[in-house]
């Protein structure tokens, strides 16, 4: 392992906004913060928004800079990437931001029913051969629904058209999900919310350099949110 990675892993241990739990501590069990993020971590009852597979946490940070009335948590398994997001949040005194290093498969150990108000999934691995590993497959969606509030909004931004189409089909087939927006080339149509156009993640920049169209899908859970539209 490179020296830089080791240094980052070491530094991660001192970051008060980065939560890591060994697999054995959470597999099939509740993390001590489950149901307690509002009081124990953020000290307020503001809505909690997750970014899954956040990498360096570009969305977590950008959303947090623009809105202090919500709390943001970036989740990823890669400590060296999370280091960047956690360090930036500390440097910018974004105390409504936290990061969790865990496998998303175990995210249910961290959040109680109705504890989360929204999810961003930004450029996830498309997993073309393993449907069960896609972060928008029924297996994962059913896990998210256990801790999402009714009416919570889920955002998917990806360069991968098959993943976009797959997710749209799943959402449209489920009575507990409502498709709000779907766009297959956001920078050409420019109809999606500003945040979707303005914030570009590390992977997104790479895909844009390759000339790939970027897609966006937005859906809600439970109660319909107002202004429903699906186009593009």
Ligand X SMILES: C[S@@+](CC[C@H](N)C(=O)[O-])C[C@H]1O[C@@H](n2cnc3c(N)ncnc32)[C@H](O)[C@@H]1O
Active-site residue identified among 125, 165, 185, 194: 125
How far does Cα 82 stand from its chain's mean position? 13
Closest to ligand X by CB, 77 or 90: 77
Closest to ligand X by CB, 9 or 202: 202
**DSSP-derived secondary structure letter, 107:** G
Q: By CB under 6 A, name the binding residues for ligand X.
A: 53-55, 76-78, 81, 103-105, 122-125, 201-204
CB of 39 to ligand X, least distance (A): 26
Decide if 95 is catalytic: no
| Cβ–Cβ under 8 Å, residues 99 and 86 | yes
DSSP, collapsed to helix, strand or coil, labels residue 219 as strand
Closest to ligand X by CB, 99 or 178: 99
CB of 132 to ligand X, least distance (A): 11
Closest to ligand X by CB, 153 or 156: 156
**DSSP-derived secondary structure letter, 114:** T
Quote the strand ranges of 44-165, DSSP E: 48-52, 71-76, 97-101, 116-122, 148-158
CB of 140 to ligand X, least distance (A): 9
Q: Regarding beta strands 18-20 and 97-101, do their DSSP bridges make them parallel or antiparallel, or are they unpaired?
A: parallel
CB of 127 to ligand X, least distance (A): 9
Q: How would you classify residue 51: left for phi > 0, otherwise alpha for psi between -120 and 50, otherwise beta?
A: beta
Catalytic residue annotation: 125
């Amino acid at each position: 392992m490179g020296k830089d990675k080791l240094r980052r892993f070491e530094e991660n241990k001192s970051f008060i906004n980065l939560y890591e739990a060994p697999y054995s501590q959470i597999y099939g069990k509740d993390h001590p913060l489950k149901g307690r993020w509002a009081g124990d971590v953020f000290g307020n009852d503001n809505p909690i928004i997750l970014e899954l597979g956040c990498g360096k946490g570009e969305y977590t940070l950008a959303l947090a800079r623009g809105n202090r009335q919500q709390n943001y948590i970036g989740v990823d398994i890669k400590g060296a990437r999370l280091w960047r997001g956690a360090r930036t949040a500390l440097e910018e005194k974004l105390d409504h931001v936290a990061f969790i290093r865990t496998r998303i498969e175990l995210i249910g150990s961290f959040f109680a029913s109705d504890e989360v108000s929204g999810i961003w999934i930004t450029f996830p691995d498309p997993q073309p051969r393993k449907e069960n590993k896609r972060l928008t497959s029924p297996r994962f969606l059913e896990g998210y629904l256990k801790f999402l509030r009714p009416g919570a909004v889920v955002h998917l931004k990806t360069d991968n058209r098959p993943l976009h189409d797959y997710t749209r089909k799943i959402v449209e087939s489920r009575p507990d999900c409502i498709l709000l927006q779907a766009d297959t080339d956001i920078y050409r149509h420019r109809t999606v919310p500003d945040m979707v156009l303005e914030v570009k993640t590390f992977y997104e920049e790479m895909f844009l350099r390759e000339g790939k169209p970027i897609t966006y899908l937005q859906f809600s859970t439970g109660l319909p949110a107002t202004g429903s539209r699906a186009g593009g």
